[in-house]
Structure 1
Amino acid sequence: MKDIQDENLRRQLINDSGYKDMFSIAVINETRLLYIAAGDYIVKEGSQPQHLFYLARGRARLHATLSNGRVSLIDFFGAPCFIGEMELINERHDPRAVQAIEACWCLALPMKKFRAMLLNDATFLHSLCVALIRKNERNIVSLTQNQSFPLTHRLAAFILLSQHDDVYREKHTQVSEYMGVTYRHLLYVFARFTREGYLQKAGASYVIKNKQALAALASEMNPGDPHQFTDDILSARK
């Protein structure tokens, strides 16, 4: 994680991400710009974050280590969104790991200094409520899709969501658990995608060879705009 001293970029991300509209108190001058490389951690598991982060650009994953030592995938984040809001609200909350999937740019506000002010800022609290409602809606949609669509569609969407630079590196054991399918079933669909030329095996990873085909499968799960998911995925690295 690097502190970036680029005032023009900081101002651009503040304006473009809608950050300043999240607060009624003065936070801009105290907001730092941080760069997190792909694979690095925004929040380390078990370590209380020192900042409230606002992901202005990039994608990240949330995961936790279970008592048996297994790592469990929990969720994925895409800009713009807050990270660390649970620890802001509840200081006793046990932080889970938030890891950058790709290069991430975060706007960061010192948590200790601003906690009391933020928890009394109606605009900020409203912003958090809206974010939580959207997250809940997304989880409901995800649950419905898990029950209604075959693994081919869901896995296509997952690959596009978690890839970095057109390379997929997730562990099969974690993904099979996250998606609620057997390890064998997951391998079967990966083998199918490889045979059909969507993916190419490269050691423990897969190179995406036909992103449009995967996006077409994934977009079938979107009953609203069948093209929106494709557009979002194909522009995810911009």
Structure 2
Amino acid sequence: MMHQLKNTTLIQQLATTSQFNHQFSTNLATKADLVLISAGDQVVTQGKAADTLWYLARGRTKLTTTLANGKIALIDFFTTPCFIGEMEFIDHQPTYTFTVTALSDCWCFRLPVAPYRQRLLQDSHFLQQLCQYFVHKNYRNIQTATRNQSFPLVQRLAAFILLTAHNDQYTEKNTQVAEYLGVSYRHLLYVFSQLVKDGSLTRTHPGYHIINHQYLRSLAYDVQHS
């Protein structure tokens, strides 16, 4: 669910700690709503009107796309702070190109596009911030591709579980994860079974419950710090 928050102190605090105020030449925090999006709910939906520029101030999200054959592909993950819907804003797309789903409870600033489009497109500081964000996103994608070639699956899967789990519960779909990590479905299930056998995870429905955080963190350390 999505709830608009009216707590002025919280709004000011998140606008400062997430650096939302620093993204623009003028203070647009007073023009944006702060909303809380529950884990599992969608921030933006592919094909829906791209009428809002979002800014993730707290929480974790994942990016997916629905292909022409109905298959859902896992593409990327976003953590704070970051924009959501910035590509559609810059390219003036009428609808969102991808779906962004909250992995945890997310606090987002919501700025309507129509009243501020021209103002933002003339804001050199905002455009510079977006350019830096695009560069960092591209660099992160390169890192992800490099990790898929450089680290064993058990290490990459441990990092993936820690990133996507909510309240110690992991529920991602194996077919999507196998494609994202660049491995076979069978290989992925084998590594999951090994993590269950060594006591790191226990099988639940759906997904897995984390039992041994310390061991998963030790496996994931090199991946997370590469």
TM range (shorter): over 0.9
Structure 1 position 204, deviation (Å): 2.3
For structure 1, the 5+ residue unaligned runs are 225-238
* Equivalent residue number for residue 2 of structure 1: 3
| SS state at 2:57 partner | strand
Once residues 205 and 225 of structure 2 are traced to their aligned partners in structure 1, the CA distance between those partners, rounded to angstroms, is 36
Q: Is the 8 A contact 1:35 1:105 kept in 2?
A: yes
Residue 124 (structure 2) aligns with:
122
The one-letter code matched in structure 1 to 2:29 is: I
Q: Aligned equivalents of 1:10 and 1:94: distance in 2? A: 26
Written as runs of structure 1 = structure 2, the 5 A alignment for 1:48-63 is: 48-63=49-64
Match of 2:155 among 141, 153, 156: 153
In structure 2, the CA distance between the partners of 1:65 and 1:104, relative to structure 1 (3 Å rule), is: same
Matches within 5 A, 1:78-117: 78-92=79-93, 94-117=96-119
Q: Is 1:43 paired with 2:44?
A: yes
Taking the aligned partners of 1:189 and 1:78, their CA distance within structure 2 comes to 26
Q: 2:207 aligns with which of 187, 205, 208?
A: 205
- 1:52 Cα offset (Å): 0.8
TM-score, with normalisation over the residues of structure 1? 0.91
Structure 2 residue identity aligned to 1:188: Y
Change (3 A) 1:223 1:76: closer
- Gap change, CA 1:204 and 1:223, over 3 Å in 2: closer
2:63 and 2:100 in contact (8 A); partners too: yes
Cα distance, 1:181 vs structure 2? 0.6
Name the aligned partner's letter for residue 90 of structure 2.
Answer: I
- Alignment length (residue pairs): 224
Deviation per CA, 1:165-202, whole angstroms, max 9, x where unpaired? 00000011111111111000000000000001110001
The 8 Å contact of residues 63 and 101 in structure 2, kept in 1 or not, is answered as: yes
Aligned to 1:135: 137
Provide the TM-score with structure 2 as the length reference.
Answer: 0.95
One-letter amino acid matched to 2:126:
F
Whole-angstrom CA distance in 1 between matches of 2:151 and 2:30: 47
In the aligned structure 2, how far is the partner of 1:26 from the partner of 1:12?
Answer: 14
Counterpart contact for 2:39–2:105, Cα < 8 Å: yes
Q: Deviations over 1:101-146 (max 9, x none)?
A: 1100001111111111111111101111111111111111111111
Quick one: which amino acid aligns to residue 6 of structure 1? N
Structure 2: distance between partners of 1:91 and 1:65: 21
CA separation in 2, counterparts of 1:204 and 1:100?
A: 18
Q: In structure 1, give the amino acid aligned to 2:107.
A: W
**Alpha-carbon distance between aligned partners in 1 of 2:174 and 2:71, rounded to the nearest angstrom:** 13
Residues 55, 79 of structure 1: 8 Å contact kept: yes
- Once superposed, what is the RMSD of the aligned Cα atoms? 1.2
**How far does residue 5 in structure 1 lie from its aligned partner after superposition?**
1.1
Which residue, 213, 216, 219 being the options, matches 1:217?
219
Alignment of 1:226-237 (within 5 A): none
What is the DSSP-based 3-state SS (H/G/I as helix, E as strand, rest coil) of the residue aligned with 1:29? Answer: coil
| Structure 2 gaps, min length 5 | none
Q: Indicate conservation of the 8 Å contact 1:52/1:110, yes or no.
A: yes
SS of 2:49's partner is coil
- 1:222–1:65 Cα change, 3 Å: closer
Alpha-carbon offset, residue 24 of structure 1: 0.3
